[in-house]
């Protein structure tokens, strides 16, 4: 019997890159929150071979060839399933779209949030442990240390431009730039701008309309600003952006 599972986006409110391990993984100290923006996974375990299909507004460009995080999460658990993912979270947007889908599969298969399980989840991706925990949390290490924080109800406006930034590329650029510390809350912003210079134009366009600089979500390419500002940013839709007003979520359970 198939089951529908929600996979909520994560938003990185602040991100400091604090070092690099000998194995090349970057150490972080971040504050993350879950959002009501979400994908929906239809999971049917009654198959012998895993089949993953992506649909929805942000399905374009995601390879369902066994290398996607949904397939890898199932393989890591020794499970097979037919999974249809309705992608409402952008791919390459810095909102944890692939990671939260993987975390949804892990939760469906009974994975919890004790330290050993979070450490195992981090092997899939640095955002997967937080997506397992949800709510609001301080995230450290390579993402496997997740300390829940009290919920703060807040509304943010996301501007999703028609481009993406791959997280590995952003971290490589951070290394190549000498490990910069950003003036704002996100140390990956200078690196993301180096990878995708068009982000600067979007940042400036948003700032002109809302009166303050937006913050880059994770490694990009989504920008966000506090409060409901969709009216002020509505004309950016004509340039290919998607505007999403989202609210933070408390930790479930």
Q: Is 127 a catalytic site residue? A: yes
**Beta-strand pair 136-141/26-44:** antiparallel
- What are the beta bridge partners of residue 138? 31, 147
- In whole angstroms, give the CA distance from residue 7 to residue 56: 14
Q: Which of 39, 86, 101, 127 is catalytic?
A: 127
The residue behind tokens 């952006």 is 241
CA–CA gap between residue 33 and residue 251 (Å, rounded): 9
Measured N-to-C along each axis, helices 69-76 and 97-108 cross at an angle, to the nearest 10 degrees, of 30
Establish whether 87 is a catalytic residue. Answer: no
Strand partners, 147: 138
Q: Out of 10, 86, 87, 187, pick the active-site residue.
A: 10
**Residue given tokens 């947007």 in the structure block:** 93
Q: How far apart are CA 190 and CA 116, in angstroms?
A: 33
Residue 135 CB partners (closer than 8 Å, separation 6+): 33, 34, 148, 149, 151, 249, 250, 251, 252
Residue with tokens 């604090």: 18
Active site residues: 10, 127
């Amino acid at each position: 019997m198939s089951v529908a599972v929600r996979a909520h986006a994560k938003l990185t409110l602040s991100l400091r890159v604090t070092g690099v391990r000998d194995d090349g993984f970057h150490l972080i100290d971040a504050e993350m929150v879950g959002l009501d923006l979400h994908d929906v996974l239809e999971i049917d375990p009654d198959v012998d071979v895993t089949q993953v299909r992506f649909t929805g507004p942000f399905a374009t460009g995601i390879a369902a060839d066994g290398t996607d995080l949904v397939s890898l999460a199932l393989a890591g658990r020794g499970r097979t399933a037919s999974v249809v993912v309705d992608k409402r979270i952008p791919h390459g947007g810095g909102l944890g779209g692939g990671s939260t889908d993987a975390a949804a599969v892990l939760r469906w298969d009974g994975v919890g949030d004790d330290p050993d399980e979070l450490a195992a989840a981090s092997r899939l991706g640095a955002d997967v442990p937080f997506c397992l925990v949800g709510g609001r949390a301080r995230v450290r290490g390579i993402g496997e240390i997740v300390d829940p924080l009290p919920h703060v109800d807040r509304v943010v406006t996301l501007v999703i431009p028609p481009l993406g930034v791959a997280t590995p590329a952003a971290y490589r650029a951070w290394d190549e730039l000498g490990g910069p510390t950003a003036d704002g809350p996100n140390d990956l912003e200078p690196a993301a701008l180096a990878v995708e210079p068009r982000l600067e134009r979007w940042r400036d366009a948003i700032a002109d309309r809302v009166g303050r600089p937006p913050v880059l979500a994770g490694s990009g390419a989504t920008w966000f600003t506090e409060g409901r500002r969709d009216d002020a940013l509505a004309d950016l839709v004509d340039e290919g952006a998607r505007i999403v007003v989202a609210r933070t979520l408390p930790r479930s359970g």
